[in-house]
Amino acid sequence: MQYIYTFKEGNKDMRRLLGGKGANLAQMTNLGLPVPSGFTISTEACNAFYKNHNQLNNETLAQLKTALDQLSQNVGKSFNSLSKPLLVSVRSGAAISMPGMMDTILNIGLNDQTVVALAKITANERFAYDSYRRLLAMYGNVVEGISEATFDTVIEDMKHQNHYQSDLDLTTNDLKQIVSEFKKVYINKLHHEFPQNPTEQLLAAINSVFESWNNHRAEVYRRENNIPSDLGTAVNVQMMVFGNAGKDSGTGVAFTRDPATGKKHLFGEYLLNAQGEDVVAGIRTPQPISTLKEAMPHLYAQFEAIAAKLEFYYRDMQDLEFTIENGKLYMLQARDGKRTPTAAVKIAVDMVYEDLISKQEALMRIKPESVQSILYPEFDEKDLANHDFVASGLPASPGAATGQIYFTAEAAKAAHDEKQQTVILVRQDTSPEDIEGMVVSEGIVTSRGGMTSHAAVVARGMGTPAIVGVNELQVDYQKRSATISGHQLHEGDWLSVDGTQGHIYIGQIKTADTVVNENLSTLLGWAKQESHLGVYANADTPADFSQALRFGADGIGLTRTEHMFFKPERLLEMRRLIIAENAEARQLPLKRLLKMQQGDFYELYKLSAGRSVTIRLLDPPLHEFLPHDEKEIRKVAKQLDVTPTYLEQRVDSLKELNPMLGHRGDRLAVTFPDIYQMQVDAIIGAALQLLDENVIIEPHIMIPLTALKSEMSWVKDLVVNRIEQLLVNKNVRLEYTVGTMMEMPRACLTADEIAEVSDFFSFGTNDLTQLTFGYSRDDVGSFMPEYIKQGILPADPFQTVDVDGVGQLMKMAVEKGRSIKPQLPIGVCGEIGGDPKSIEFFEQIDVSYVSCSPFRVPIARLAAAQASL
Ligand code: PEP
Ligand code: MG
What is the arithmetic mean of pLDDT over 756-770? 98
Q: Which of 431, 451, 619 to mutate to test the pocket of ligand 1 (most atoms within 8 A of CB)?
A: 619
For ligand 1, the distance from its centroid to the CA atom of residue 619, given in whole angstroms, is 9
d(C-alpha 459, C-alpha 442), whole Å: 10
Mean pLDDT of the chain: 93
In the structure, what pLDDT confidence band is assigned to residue 283 with cuts at 50, 70 and 90? low
Pocket test for ligand 1, best of 562, 668, 741, 766 (most atoms within 8 A of CB): 766
Check residue 801 and give its pLDDT.
98
Give the residue among 554, 581, 627 at the shortest CA–CA distance from 851. 554
Work out the average pLDDT over 367-380: 85
Distance of CA 207 to CAs 48, 54, 220, Å?
A: 12, 8, 21
Any idea which of 14-28, 178-192, 240-254, 793-807 has the lowest mean pLDDT? 240-254
Residue range 387-410: mean pLDDT, rounded? 92
In words, the CATH class of domain 531-621+656-868 is alpha beta
pLDDT confidence of residue 314: 94
Going from the Cα of 704 to the center of ligand 1, the distance in angstroms, rounded, reads 8
d(Cα 103, Cα 213) in Å, to the nearest integer? 9
Q: Which of 416, 503, 563, 829 is catalytic?
A: 829
| Vertex 412 angle, CA 406 and 416, to 5° | 125
**Cα 743 from Cα 830, distance rounded (Å):** 9
Least confident of 434-438, 684-688, 721-725: 434-438
pLDDT at 583: 86
Measured by CA distance, the residue closest to atom 6 of ligand 1 is: 764
Compute the distance between CA of residue 721 and CA of residue 618 in angstroms, rounded to an integer: 18
The atom of ligand 1 lying closest to the CA of 562 is: 9
pLDDT per position as a tens digit, 813-860: 999 999 999 999 999 999 999 999 999 999 999 999 999 999 899 999
Long-range contacts of 177-180 (CB under 8 A, 24+ apart): 178/129, 178/133, 178/154, 179/115, 179/129, 179/132, 179/133, 179/136
The confidence band for 159, taking pLDDT boundaries of 50, 70 and 90, is very high
Whether residue 852 lies in the annotated active site? no
Q: In this structure, how many other beta carbons lie within 10 angstroms of the beta carbon of residue 184?
A: 11
Task: With CA atoms as reference, report the closest residue to 384 among 492, 281, 225, 500.
Answer: 500
Selection from 44, 21, 68 nearest residue 200 by Cα: 68
Taking the CA of residue 767 as reference, the ligand 1 atom at the shortest distance is: 2
- CATH 3.50.30.10 in the chain: give the residue spans: 377-512
**pLDDT for position 99:** 66
Residue extent(s) of CATH 3.30.470.20 domains in the chain: 242-339
Ligand 2: centre distance to CA 558 (Å): 11
Q: How many CB atoms lie within 10 A of CB 696?
A: 10
Q: How many angstroms separate the alpha carbon of residue 766 from the centre of ligand 1? A: 5
pLDDT per residue over 482-493, tens digit each? 999 999 999 999
Given a cut of 70, whether residue 725 has pLDDT beyond it is yes
Strands, E, within 477-554: which ranges? Answer: 481-484, 487-490, 494-498, 503-506, 511-512, 534-538
Ligand nearest to the CA of 832: 1
The stretch 711-732 carries a mean pLDDT of 97
* Ligand 1 atom nearest residue 766's Cα: 3
Q: How confident is the model at residue 440 (pLDDT cuts 50, 70, 90)?
A: very high
Residues of the chain above pLDDT 90, percent: 78
Which among 104, 449, 124 has a CA at the least distance from the CA of 281?
104
Lowest mean pLDDT across 134-143, 336-345, 551-560:
336-345
Residue 29: pLDDT band with limits 50, 70, 90: very high
**Residue-level length of the chain:** 869
The residues, any chain, with a CB within 8 Å of residue 610's CB and separated by 6 or more, are: none
CA of 764 to the centre of ligand 1 (A): 5
The total of other beta-carbon atoms located within 10 Å of residue 635's CB is: 13
pLDDT bin (cut points 50, 70, 90) of residue 365 is very high
Give the integer Cα–Cα distance in Å for 619 and 704: 6
> What is the number of the ligand closest to the CA of 851?
1
Atom of ligand 1 at shortest range from CA of 764: 3
Q: Which atom of ligand 1 is nearest to the CA of 831?
A: 3
Closest approach atom of ligand 1 to CA 770: 2
User: In this predicted structure, what is the pLDDT of residue 100?
Assistant: 64
Active site residue: 416, 454, 503, 563, which one?
A: 454
The pLDDT of residue 812 is above 70: yes
At residue 451, the pLDDT reads 78
pLDDT interval class at 432 (50, 70, 90): confident
Say if residue 229 is exposed, middle or buried (CB neighbours under 10 Å; 0-12, 13-18, 19+). exposed
Q: Is 747 helix (H, G, I), strand (E, B) or coil?
A: helix
**Distances in whole angstroms, Cα of residue 352 to Cα of each of 219, 259, 266, 308, 317:** 38, 18, 19, 16, 13
Q: Which atom of ligand 1 is nearest to the CA of 765?
A: 3
Assigned architecture for domain 242-339: 2-Layer Sandwich (3.30)
Q: What is the spatial distance between Cα 356 and Cα 791, in angstroms, rounded to a whole number?
A: 43
Rg for the chain (alpha carbons), in Å?
34
| Region of residue 778 (left: phi > 0; alpha: psi -120 to 50; beta: else) | alpha
Atom 9 in ligand 1: which residue has the minimum CA distance?
A: 560
Beta strand 88-94 pairing with 233-239: antiparallel
Rounded to the nearest angstrom, the distance between the alpha carbon of 799 and the centre of ligand 1 is: 13
> What count of other Cβ atoms lies within 10 Å of the Cβ of residue 169?
12
Q: Could you report how far apart the first and last alpha carbons of the chain are, in Å?
A: 38
CA 489 / ligand 1 centre spacing (Å)? 34
pLDDT at 500 over 90: no
pLDDT at 278: 66
163 flagged as catalytic: no
Separation of alpha carbons 383 and 860, rounded Å: 31
Q: Say what the pLDDT of residue 455 is.
A: 87
Scored b (16 or more CB within 10 A) or e, 734-772 reads bebebbbbbbbbebbebbbbbbebbbbbbbbbbbbbbbb
How many whole angstroms from 458 Cα to the centroid of ligand 1?
Answer: 12
Neighbours of 220 (CB within 10 A): 11
Taking residues 137-145, report their average pLDDT: 94
CATH of the structural domain 377-512, one choice from 3.90.1150.10, 3.40.1360.10, 3.50.30.10, 1.10.443.10: 3.50.30.10
User: Which ligand minimizes its atom distance to the CA of 538?
Assistant: 1
* 6 sits in which H/E element: strand 4-6
Residues 236-271 pLDDT 10s = 999 999 898 888 999 998 999 988 789 999 998 898
**Sequence letter at residue 126:** R
* Sequence-distant (≥ 6) Cβ neighbours of residue 301 within 8 angstroms: none
- pLDDT exceeds 60 at position 516: no
Q: What is the pLDDT of residue 261?
A: 83
Q: How many Å apart are CA 773 and CA 823, to the nearest integer?
A: 30
- The number of CA neighbours under 13 Å toward the Cβ of 169 is 12
Considering only CA atoms, which of 663, 665, 681 is closest in space to residue 715?
A: 665
| Contact by Cβ (8 Å): 356, 315 | yes
**pLDDT value of position 198:** 97
Average pLDDT over residues 185-194: 96
pLDDT of residue 277: 66
Q: What is the pLDDT of residue 828?
A: 98
Q: What is the mean pLDDT of residues 173-180?
A: 97
Which ligand is the nearest neighbour of the Cα of 457?
1
Closest residue by CA, ligand 1 atom 8 = 766
- Among 160-174, 343-357, 606-620, 810-824, the minimum mean pLDDT is found in 160-174
pLDDT value at position 513? Answer: 56
Residues with CB under 5 A from ligand 2 (ion): 743, 764, 767
152 DSSP assignment: H
Site to probe by mutation for ligand 1, drawn from 458, 564, 741 as the one with most ligand atoms within 8 Å of Cβ, is 741
Among the ranges given (124-133, 514-523, 751-760, 842-851), the one the predictor scored with the smallest mean pLDDT: 514-523
Q: Which of 829, 835, 838, 852 is the pocket-test mutation for ligand 1 (most atoms within 8 Å of CB)?
A: 829
- If you average pLDDT over residues 160-169, what whole number do you get? 88
Is pLDDT above 80 for 282? no
CA 718 to chain CA centroid, nearest Å? 45
Distance 705 CA to ligand 2 centre (A): 7
Q: Which ligand is nearest to the CA of 458?
A: 1
Contact 342, 262 (CB under 8 A): yes
Q: Where in the chain is the domain with CATH 3.20.20.60?
A: 531-621+656-868
Q: What residues are in contact with ligand 1 under a 6 Å CB criterion?
A: 457, 558, 560, 619, 743, 764-767, 829-830
> SS3 for 21?
helix
Dihedral sign for Cα atoms in the order 662, 668, 669, 673: positive
361 band by pLDDT with thresholds 50, 70 and 90:
very high
89-95 average pLDDT score: 92
Nearest CA to ligand 1 atom 3: 764
Average pLDDT, integer, range 722-745: 97
What is the dotted CATH code of the domain comprising 4-241? Answer: 3.30.1490.20
Atom 4 of ligand 1, nearest CA residue: 764
pLDDT at 669 over 60: yes
Higher pLDDT, residue 581 or 837: 837
- Residue 828 CA, ligand 2 centroid: distance in Å: 11
Query: Which ligand is in closest contact with the Cα of 614?
Result: 1
Cα 840 to averaged position of ligand 2 atoms, centre (Å): 22
pLDDT greater at residue 124 or residue 407: 407
| Per-residue pLDDT at 514 | 54
Specify the ligand 1 atom closest to the Cα of 560.
9
Q: What is the residue with the minimal CA distance to atom 1 of ligand 1?
A: 764
Name the residue of 566, 743, 802 to mutate for ligand 1: max ligand atoms within 8 A of Cβ: 743
Q: How far is CA 289 from the centre of its chain?
A: 31
